[in-house]
Every structure is written in structure tokens, then in C-alpha cells.
Amino acid sequence: MVDVVIRELADFPQWIPTISSWFHDEWHELLGVRSLEEIEQGLAKWLVRDAIPTALVAVIGEEVVGTVALRAREFEQFGETPWLAGLYVVPPYRKAGIGMQLLRAAEKKAVAMGIHKLYLYTPRAQRFYQTLGWQARQEATLYTKPVTIMEKVLLPHNLFQAPPVPARG
């Protein structure tokens, strides 16, 4: 695995234009017709540490290589909340475990904020999320594109830790 540090986006607001460009390039069809400026304005709202919306970034050296966020609403047609959103790793670092590290960090952050269930949607990464404990909930359409809505109950024992051992006495 690559030596990655997961940090708060709030520590690196200068990376918002870079992340906006990633989102625009990767998901422009799912984001609707949105300009880079609109995406940047939306990401500026993620510069929060202990409330939603918030975002984390993966950093290698001085370079941002990935991001993930927690948001109140991500899929307006589906009223559940909160959502894991914007999990993205730059192509040269994919398949190196960075997405999994970002996902785990976001889940732990959610639990620390008192959140016990998260939702997400994905057009093509269902298997990735299923291997990390997410369950497909339903198929849906977002801006004419098919997506899968997934959920995960967040408990300490399914955040990649061993379950607590009962005390003997």
C-alpha cells in the first residue's frame, strides 16, 4: 500500500479547484450541467470539520490524490440521510488501497459524529462497496443514468475492527 495520510479538506482549501476538476471530468453526466465554478462553490461548503457537510482528502507528500465527503443530501429523490459522496482517487493511484482508506476514514468520522447509517449511490462501483460491507438497496436513475443506491449500518464491529470480547467474570 502507498504511504497515504488522510486529512480534513478544511486544512487544504487551496485544493478545491483541483477536486472540482476531478468531479467535473469524472461525473459530469451525473452532476447535470454544472460549471467548474458551481462545483467549486459547492465544495467550499465542505470545509467543515465536525458537522455535515465535511470532506477528507488523501495526501501523498504534498499532493492530494483522493477525496471523500459526508453530506446531508446526495440523491434528492431518496429522502434518507446522510450520504457518503465524492469518493474519488486520481487514476495513477487507483488499485493501491487509497479508496478503501478514504472510505474507512469517512465511516469512522461518521460514527464519531453520532451517525449510525450511511447511504451512497454509484453508477459502476457496486462490487467495491459490497466488499467493504455496503448493501445494495435499490436501483434508481439520476439525470437519465442508472445508479445503485447502497447503505451501510455503521457499528464499531463493522468498521474493520474486531468485535468487542465480552468480559468474563
Domain assignment present for 30 = yes
Q: What angle do CA 15, 106, 162 make, to 5 degrees?
A: 145
Domain total of the chain: 1
Q: What percent of the chain has pLDDT over 70?
A: 85
> Whole-prediction pTM value?
0.84
Domain assignment present for 39 = yes
Cα separation, 67 vs 133, in Å, equals 20
Q: Return the SS3 of 8.
A: strand
Nearest C-alpha neighbor of 90 from the set 69, 70, 128, 64: 64
Domain assignment present for 119 = no
Domain assignment present for 165 = no
Domain assignment present for 18 = yes
Q: What is the pLDDT of residues 135-156, one digit of tens each?
A: 999 898 877 788 999 999 998 6
Domain assignment present for 109 = yes
Q: What percent of the chain has pLDDT over 90?
A: 64
Does pLDDT of 158 surpass 70? no
Nearest C-alpha neighbor of 9 from the set 61, 62, 64: 64
Residues of the domain holding 94: 5-114
Quickly count: other Cβ atoms within 10 Å of residue 141's Cβ: 9
CATH number at residue 81: 3.40.630.30
